[in-house]
């Protein structure tokens, strides 16, 4: 290894490969190298400070209990089946319609925009909601098809997207409920507990051949503020995850054929490194964001710790390999278990605030597509430490700054001179014009994003890959492409705060 190679290793950031060199064993995905920084692109690529709309469509009794569990059951399939059987189809339709309407009417859009500074909402849906139950044939929700045809949740979702756009808020469509379930929990929509989705070809093919293409064509392409499609929520841990890989690849390719710019979100399956490595190996990292959920209130290990211990240990447990892929924290809260509080001295609200602030600090550093708190509203009360609004108002969840980006042209020129001076005499040849192009490209992107509601560039791994490919297309490849990379990274670190 020569002197220049050794010195290059001193810089932060990986030497990134050409994203256009896709896996030769399969058909290449569509290129995103020609980037247009329009409003749709900003919606899809900016850093997000967001919140979930839990129990709007995928019903969870602990959020809206009395309306849903009167007739028993632990999942939406059971709730609505029991409701219909013990009353009537008309009653089931009326209750669902009223729920959608009342939930959406309670959303305080001015607060989200002006106080919470929210950029996007993550909206969990089930496959049974898509096109108002049209894709339920042969699947567990088929007996309830008529209910959803009449209830029209898909129409409600479109109204929600339109309303959000009026406030410059994006919508992340999260397929929370898959046929058979991606995990054994009731929030998948049914309580079979088998998590059979990935291992059932009929279910997988139904999603990738019919449901997902419909969502992309009917919503993602039509509405500029639809920021991405999450193809699974909380996949269970699987050491080999071969079936998960099959589904993800099929879903990625199906979406890419229709809309190559749409971010595709997969679950980390409680092992972020596994999926970052897989995306890098498949060259899917330009198209995909990995979703990780961060809760410190469920495991016995968490319950055995005090609040201070949990806060101190956060960096060990939230350690995303963000040099290989883009990450988003799709769910988190400020909740700690009662056993943790029994081991904690001092003011509870003070600890909650510290816990929330430390989470946001960590997420802002590691999750390049941002974060979504769980959740926005509840039938009764404000949700306490599960509630976004009280935690923002209490200062536990810091809101994003809406100050204008400060692109200091004199500082850019000084950084360029510093770069040239540092490398002077350390090699026979350099291409410092690439460093200059990189930092100026980053600054130009930050300025363009800032024009739309003081947004900041997100999906930094993917965005840099695409800009790098664009630079190579215009100026040719070179052994000194690392200079462009370092210039772009420096611009982001200096001005994208």
Q: 66: pLDDT confidence band, cut at 50, 70 and 90?
A: low
Residue located via tokens 């319950």: 303
Residues contacting residue 92 through CB under 8 Å, at least 6 positions apart: 80, 83, 84, 147
pLDDT given for residue 363 in this prediction: 98
Cβ–Cβ contacts within 10 Å for residue 40, how many? Answer: 18
% of the chain beyond a pLDDT of 70: 93
Instruction: Answer for the pair 321, 274: CB distance below 8 angstroms, yes or no.
Output: no
| d(C-alpha 225, C-alpha 158), whole Å | 11
% of the chain beyond a pLDDT of 90: 86
| d(C-alpha 169, C-alpha 53), whole Å | 13
| d(C-alpha 135, C-alpha 56), whole Å | 20
Per residue in 188-236, pLDDT (tens digit) is 777 777 889 999 999 999 999 999 999 999 999 999 999 999 999 999 9
Give catalytic residue positions: 234, 331
For residue 493, what are the β-bridge partners?
none
| CA within 13 Å, CB half, 266 | 26
* CA torsion through residues 220, 362, 177, 200, sign: positive
| d(C-alpha 24, C-alpha 8), whole Å | 29
Per residue in 105-118, pLDDT (tens digit) is 999 999 999 999 99
| d(C-alpha 104, C-alpha 156), whole Å | 9
| d(C-alpha 157, C-alpha 225), whole Å | 13
């Amino acid at each position: 290894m020569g002197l220049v190679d050794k010195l290059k290793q001193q810089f932060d950031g990986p030497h990134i490969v050409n994203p256009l060199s896709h896996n030769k064993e399969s058909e290449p995905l569509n290129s995103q190298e020609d980037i247009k920084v329009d409003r749709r692109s900003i919606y899809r690529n900016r850093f997000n400070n967001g919140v979930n709309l839990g129990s709007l469509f995928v019903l969870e009794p602990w959020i809206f209990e009395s309306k849903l569990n009167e007739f028993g059951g632990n999942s939406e399939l059971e709730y609505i089946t029991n409701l219909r059987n013990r009353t009537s189809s008309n009653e089931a339709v009326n209750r669902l319609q009223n729920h959608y309407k009342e939930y959406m009417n309670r959303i305080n859009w001015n607060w989200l925009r002006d106080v919470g500074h929210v950029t996007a909402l993550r909206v969990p849906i089930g496959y049974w909601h898509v096109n108002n139950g049209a894709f339920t044939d042969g699947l567990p929700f088929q007996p309830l098809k008529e209910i959803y045809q009449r209830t029209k949740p898909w129409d409600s979702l479109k109204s929600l997207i339109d309303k959000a756009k009026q406030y410059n808020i994006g919508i992340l469509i999260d397929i929370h409920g898959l046929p058979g379930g991606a995990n054994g929990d009731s929030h998948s929509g049914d309580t079979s507990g088998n998590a059979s989705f990935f291992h059932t070809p009929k279910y997988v093919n139904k999603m990738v051949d019919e449901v997902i293409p419909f969502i992309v064509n009917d919503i993602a392409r039509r509405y500029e503020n639809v920021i991405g499609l999450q193809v699974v929520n909380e996949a269970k841990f699987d050491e080999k995850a071969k079936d998960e890989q099959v589904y993800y690849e099929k879903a990625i390719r199906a979406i890419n054929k229709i809309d190559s710019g749409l971010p595709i979100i997969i679950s980390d399956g409680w092992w972020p490194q596994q999926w970052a490595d897989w995306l890098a190996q498949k060259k899917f990292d330009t198209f995909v964001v990995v979703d990780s959920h961060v809760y410190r209130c469920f495991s016995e290990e968490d319950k055995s710790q005090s609040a201070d211990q949990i806060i101190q240990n956060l960096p060990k447990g939230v350690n995303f390999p963000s040099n290989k892929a883009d990450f988003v924290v799709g769910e988190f809260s400020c909740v700690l278990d009662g056993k943790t509080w029994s081991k904690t001295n001092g003011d509870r609200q003070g600890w909650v605030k510290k816990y929330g602030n430390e989470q946001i600090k960590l997420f802002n550093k590691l999750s390049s597509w941002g974060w979504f708190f769980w959740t926005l509203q509840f039938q009764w009360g404000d949700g306490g430490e599960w509630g976004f609004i009280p935690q923002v108002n209490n200062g536990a969840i810091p809101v994003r700054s809406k100050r204008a980006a400060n692109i200091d042209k004199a500082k850019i020129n000084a950084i360029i001179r510093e770069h040239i001076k540092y490398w002077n005499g350390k090699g026979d040849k350099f291409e410092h014009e690439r460093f200059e192009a990189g930092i100026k490209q980053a600054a130009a992107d930050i300025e363009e994003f800032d024009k739309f509601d003081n947004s900041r560039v997100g999906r930094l791994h993917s965005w840099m890959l695409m800009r790098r490919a664009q630079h190579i297309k215009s100026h040719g490849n070179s052994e000194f492409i690392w200079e462009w990379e370092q210039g772009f990274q420096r611009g982001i670190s200096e001005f994208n705060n």
